[in-house]
Chains A and B, each alone.
Chain A
């Protein structure tokens, strides 16, 4: 099991244990046997995620404030902007998800709240999502079985992010800014179905499912 430092820190403080491995999540090698798996899948835990939606007419002011605080503003649709320890992904008109991982969360959040103050609605939504991280040489072959948007690596470049339909579910699919991995997020209740859809699609290439962890 990977080190869930961010999570276990909170666990120690809280009297309830965070569920890190859902009942449907089976680890290990599956599908076609072979030396190297074509795809590696891992459930990402420990993400923080905020839904940010600008107040009416305040989008520009929000950009300015974020730029002043973090040095950059997430202005491009369906792209990721890394700033201040957050990945800001633009998911709709005047709507973003701010995702962050790792230590110093409280300081980071305070800074974000301060930058946003009354310019946007900010709702913590991390628990509403299940996120699978996909790596390996055959990831795009797996995804094109399900995803109708163009995943040509030149079109869907590092940092790209779309909300789209996948096997009847609405998913948020993004390519990490280093370009090495894809992350597929879905409303928590659909996690089992998405896991099933992705793992079945990946089986022909040999799949390794890693224990849930903070990547």
Chain B
């Protein structure tokens, strides 16, 4: 399998490590023992949708540019529809110029 790293181009799967579904970290407020807050973290850490279809996940280009990537992959076909840097795109200019 190949992943089209926005910086490095098409690279072999072996250069990347996956971090699973792209889940947002809940926003904590001051009461760290609040039940709802804890529930939201439990949800984020333990519960995964595991869809048969489009899946957004984080990959790290460990043997390349060391970027964390947001990858959209179809779990049924491994087709990757989108890859972007997880860090917001202040580098757009750099890429295209």
Contact = CB atoms under 8 A, between A and B. Distances in A.
Contact of A91 (B9, B65, B93, B95): B65
Sort A-B residue pairs by CB-CB distance and give the 7 closest, nearest first: A92-B65, A165-B63, A170-B63, A93-B91, A148-B12, A165-B15, A163-B64
A57 B93 CA distance: 12
A78 B12 contact: no
Interface of B: 7-9, 11-12, 14-15, 62-67, 85, 87, 90-91, 93-95, 97
A149 interface: yes
14 contacts: A59-B91, A75-B94, A77-B94, A91-B65, A93-B65, A94-B90, A95-B65, A148-B11, A149-B11, A163-B8, A163-B64, A163-B65, A165-B15, A165-B63
A77 B64 contact: no
B94 A164 contact: no
A153 B62 CA distance: 26
A165 B94 contact: no
B75 to A, nearest CB: 25
Given A57-B90, A92-B7, A94-B94, A165 B65 contact: no
Contacts of A60: 93
Given A78-B8, A93-B65, A165 B14 contact: yes
A164 B15 contact: yes
Interface in A75-102: 75-78, 91-95
Contact of B85 (A78, A93, A170): A93
Given A59-B94, A92-B66, A93-B7, A165 B87 contact: no
A162 interface: yes
A164 B66 CA distance: 11
Given A77-B7, A165-B63, A93 B12 contact: no
A77 B94 CA distance: 8
A164 B87 contact: no
Interface in A52-80: 56-57, 59-60, 75-78
Contacts of A163: 8, 63-65
A78 B97 CA distance: 13
B88 to A, nearest CB: 10
A9 to B, nearest CB: 34
A129 to B, nearest CB: 15
A164 B85 contact: no
Nearest to B62: A170
A95 B90 CA distance: 13
B14 to A, nearest CB: 6
Contacts of B66: 92, 95
